[in-house]
Amino acid sequence: MSANVTLSDLEQELMLVKAEARDLQRTVTALRTELEMAHAGCEQAVQHAQNLAGQEIAQLKATIASLRDELERSQIEREQEIQKVQAASLDEIQQLKATVASLRDELERSRIDKETEVQMALAVSANEIAQLRATAGALRDQLELVRAQQEQVLQDERLAAEEEKQQLRNTIQAMRDDIGNHG
């Protein structure tokens, strides 16, 4: 009878081991299922993150393209403004040169007229000659003053044009730097 008890105990123990093995297999199957679900969840999260990143990249590319277009338009506008300022400056310089030439001609005519008057007045009066010489000197001083004023105006215009050009260059560089920092 002890052999039966032992055999029965062994059978019982075998049944327990088999039950435990079935439980472990079920646990392994459940864990595999859970692992697969977690893996699928991770893949979905990665795909979602990739989709979000793709959308953000597309938005950034669109923003960059828009900023490039805006910068190009701004550069074209600045260049047009610079050209307008330069054209206006050149036009003003030409007008001033024409004015100077006209004043020179007028002064030359005036000087010739005065010299003629002086020559005619020599016979009349030495006092008139002195007055005419004083007038001619005053006209020369006035001409030099006008020339100096015109030269100052030209220098001021050139300086203003150069300052504006430098400001435009600085603005363009700042925009480039800003775009570079955002890129």
pTM for the whole structure: 0.35
Q: Tell me, what amino acid is at 164?
A: E
Q: Is 93 within 8 Å of 154 (Cβ atoms)?
A: yes
CA 85 to chain centre: 20
- Structure tokens belonging to residue 119: 């020559």
pLDDT tens-digit map of 80-116:
988 988 888 888 888 888 888 888 888 888 889 888 8
* pLDDT higher than threshold 80 for residue 44: yes
- Structure tokens belonging to residue 152: 């100052």
